[in-house]
Amino acid sequence: MNPLGEKYLRKDFLPFLFCPGCGDGMIVQSFLQAVEDLGCRENLAMTAGIGCSAWIAVYIHADVLKVLHGRAIPAAIGLKATQPSRTVVTFTGDGDCLAIGGNHLLHAARRNIDMTVVVVNNQLYAMTGGQVAPSTKVGSKTQTTPYGNVEKPLDGCKVAAAAGATLVSRWSTAHPRQLIRAFKNALTHKGFAFVEVMSQCPVQTGRYLLGSGSPQFNFQWLKDNCVAVKDTSQRDEVEAQGKIPLGDFLQVEKPEFMEEVRRMNERVKEAKAKGGER
């Protein structure tokens, strides 16, 4: 076992339940490297929904809350509200975050709550057998769209940015160094950080969408189809070619929700102590 794994994983839960060649294990490793570099393990609290990607949190030896499908973000908000000093991280998948928990993502981003949401995007519902998800491309044949998908996919990064997230990044499992850097940025960022990770799923995405269940083929597909960009014009260009743009798209400072609430409480207390109007 890797020294990082020796230090941070729950040994009694191993081996990982992920299929051979799954990208989720790489995300565990990149995330642990970021935690190791920042030394924030003591404060770490994670929530996870349902799906393969939600298992990432379970293997890490820290405080974990595993909740209903799509409800990982509300649980994280509750955690952050009661213990503002914790570093709260949510692990969700594309179906968990963008479809079932889509509304929660919008409102957590809108309020700019100090938390990190890691969305593992494998382009379909993998755990349940390869059904169409909001991130599936047009024309893809899946279990539930045998004649090709006719729905337009949803871009999680654009949704989060439009809703008011203050840090938005997208990297893939084929770019571990950049992914570690993005995790470090997100964990130290004050505000809502949204990190999307394009991940390979040889068993479902590979077989249904790409035509091969080989881990190597799926990994190479990610390398060929994910292009790192520097600015928005480049991003549109890459999207027009039908490829997936990667990069650190947005990082701004905005007032954080929990701090605003605390400030409001103090203001009200002061006003009450003076006996005046609020």
Partner 1 sequence: MKGAERIEIDRRYCKGCMLCQYVCQFDVYEQGQERSALDYLMPRPARIENCRVCGLCESHCPDMCLTVVAQMNRKEKR
Q: Which of 16, 143, 207, 225 binds partner 1 (CB under 8 A)?
A: 16
Contact assessment for residue 23 and residue 120, using Cβ atoms and an 8 Å cutoff? yes
Residue 30 near partner 1 by CB under 8 A: yes
Tell which residue, 186, 249, 246, 194, has the closest CA to residue 222: 246
Question: Which region, judged by CB under 8 A, interacts with partner 1, from 28-36, 91-99, 225-233, 242-250?
Answer: 28-36
Interface pattern 221-250 for partner 1 (x via CB under 8 A): ------------------------------
Residue 208 near partner 1 by CB under 8 A: no
Residue 24 near partner 1 by CB under 8 A: yes
Q: Of 111 and 175, which has the nearer Cβ to partner 1?
A: 175
Residue 29 CB, shortest distance to partner 1, in Å, is 6
Q: Of 16 and 259, which has the nearer Cβ to partner 1?
A: 16
160-179 residues near partner 1, rule: CB under 8 A: 176-177
The site for partner 1, by CB under 8 A, has a size of 28
Q: Which of 3, 146, 275, 276 binds partner 1 (CB under 8 A)?
A: 3
Site residues for partner 1 per CB under 8 A: 1-5, 9, 14-16, 18-26, 28-30, 33, 176-177, 215-216, 219-220
